[in-house]
Amino acid sequence: MNKQAELDSLLQDVAKSGENLTVSDRRAFLRKGATFLGAATAAALSAPSVRAAMPPTEPAYGKSLGSPVLANPYGMPSKYEAHVQRRTVEWLTPDRISSISFTPLADLKGIITPSGVMFERYHSGLPEINPQEHHLMIHGLVERPIILSMDDLMRFPSVSMTRFVECPANGGMEWRGAQMDRLQFTHGMLGCAEWTGVLLSTLLQEVGVKPEGKWILAEGADGSHMSRSIPLEKALDDTLVVYAQNGEALRPEQGYPVRLVNPGWEGNTCIKWLRRLEVGDAPWYHREETSKYTDLMPDGRSREFTFVQECNSVVTNPCPENPITRPGKIWVEGLAWSGRGKIKHVDVSFDGGVTWRQARFTSEVFPRALTRFGIDWEWNGQAALVQSRAVDETGYVQPTYAQLRAARGENSIYHKNAIHTWQVNKDGSVRNVQIS
């Protein structure tokens, strides 16, 4: 069987799988469907307003004065970028108090996620905290318990690092089949920022951990008092007590005035609105590490403390939000990341994994950070199946769905890092499918 025949066979399988969906499945999959794919088309280019701004014509804004300095004391995006915003899936949670929003990955460039569009996750709503009243307590199995004000915290040496934060439920709705119609909803519980704060190891050195201290309980100040047990080894490695993101103070939705960041680990461990760190001799087995954030296995047992976010990748252009407008050469790009370290290389396929080409990196490559990749592709106007497959510096290869389900079953929620497939249709539109 030649390559084209294999691709045609895969496309037929995708179509058949779609036909087998129940009415309820289709309703669930398509609910809250795409509403903003209004990318510019050839017809739009004929609009009078567009023609009036095309060279050599001088548009009106080139013949008049603009707004003065400090028209916006805190800079805002252009009004023409108003579509770039966080969104949620209304039916995902019963209400928005304990819910999540998604990063608009398809609209972003580079590897840094702007603070204003980085995904949100709350367990009891967004608290409003006065930094002058907030304190961080470090106690338990330590020699010198302390209570730090924000001013106290700022007196310690600061460190900045670029790292991703990802909810372990990212893509969790896709375990049993392709459901979501946008990249924002398949992978949008993800962001990467420059985080600034104090290494937790510095603070632990200040208080003196007793020999029997092996774990740390991190607790937030929100209404849920969100908490997770963190092994001391991680705390002494690269865990950061953060008060700034992308060069400014944390946004409230990102944990203002102080949060935890555990690079490469489940976002759930990166406790926001941090109020307490307790050193103990064993994990606490609180709600978020027993009832939640455990991995149900095929034999009925559950894995706990599966902290590391495994190697993953996704193509961001083309995707449902970024359809192809016309045949010819296009720039295919995407993002790769691994909680194990640096991304080593990324391969891209246009025929559903029959053949692969190595992409090139178009950003700096940091450990436990987003890495951007790209590759040229000559699209001939025919249907295609676009995939990316990342490999990290440990040799870990991003798995297929078949490999992941063989190990984890179909009843999981967390740590879905399977190779993702976009089906490009003959009209250039893109849909989410699963083929392996």
pLDDT at residue 54, rounded to an integer = 77
C-beta separation of 78 from 63 below 8 A: no
CA–CA separation, 135 and 152 (whole Å): 9
Lowest mean pLDDT among 24-28, 37-41, 368-372: 37-41
Residue 7 has pLDDT above 70, yes or no: no
Q: What is the pLDDT of residues 302-361, one digit of tens each?
A: 899 999 999 999 999 999 999 999 999 999 999 999 999 999 999 999 999 999 999 999
DSSP notation for 350-376: SBTTSS-EE-EE-S---TTS-EEEEEE
pLDDT at residue 37, rounded to an integer = 37
Percent of the chain surpassing pLDDT 70? 88
Task: Say which amino acid occupies 401.
Answer: Y
Band (pLDDT 50/70/90 cuts) for residue 22 is very low
pLDDT at residue 57, rounded to an integer = 84
Q: What is the pLDDT of residues 235-275, one digit of tens each?
A: 999 999 999 999 999 999 999 999 999 999 999 999 999 99
CA–CA separation, 111 and 105 (whole Å): 10
Average pLDDT for residues 290-312, to the nearest whole number? Answer: 93
Residues of the chain with CATH 3.90.420.10: 117-303
Q: Maximum Cα–Cα distance for the chain, whole Å?
A: 75
Q: What is the pLDDT of residues 27-81, one digit of tens each?
A: 444 443 433 334 434 444 456 666 667 788 888 888 899 999 999 999 999 999 9
CA–CA separation, 2 and 354 (whole Å): 10
Band (pLDDT 50/70/90 cuts) for residue 436 is confident
C-beta separation of 369 from 164 below 8 A: yes
Closest CA to 91 of 33, 35, 38: 33
The residue ranges of DSSP E strands in 50-201, in sequence order, are: 135-140, 146-149, 159-166, 190-199
pLDDT, averaged across the chain: 91
Residues of the chain with CATH 2.60.40.650: 309-433
Average pLDDT for residues 401-427, to the nearest whole number? Answer: 94
Count other C-beta atoms under 10 Å from residue 433's C-beta: 20
Which is higher by pLDDT, 122 or 24?
A: 122
Lowest mean pLDDT among 211-215, 337-341, 412-416: 412-416
Q: What CATH class is the domain 309-433?
A: mainly beta
CA–CA separation, 61 and 63 (whole Å): 5
Domain covering 117-303 in this structure, CATH number: 3.90.420.10
Which is higher by pLDDT, 13 or 415?
A: 415
Task: Say which amino acid occupies 100.
Answer: I
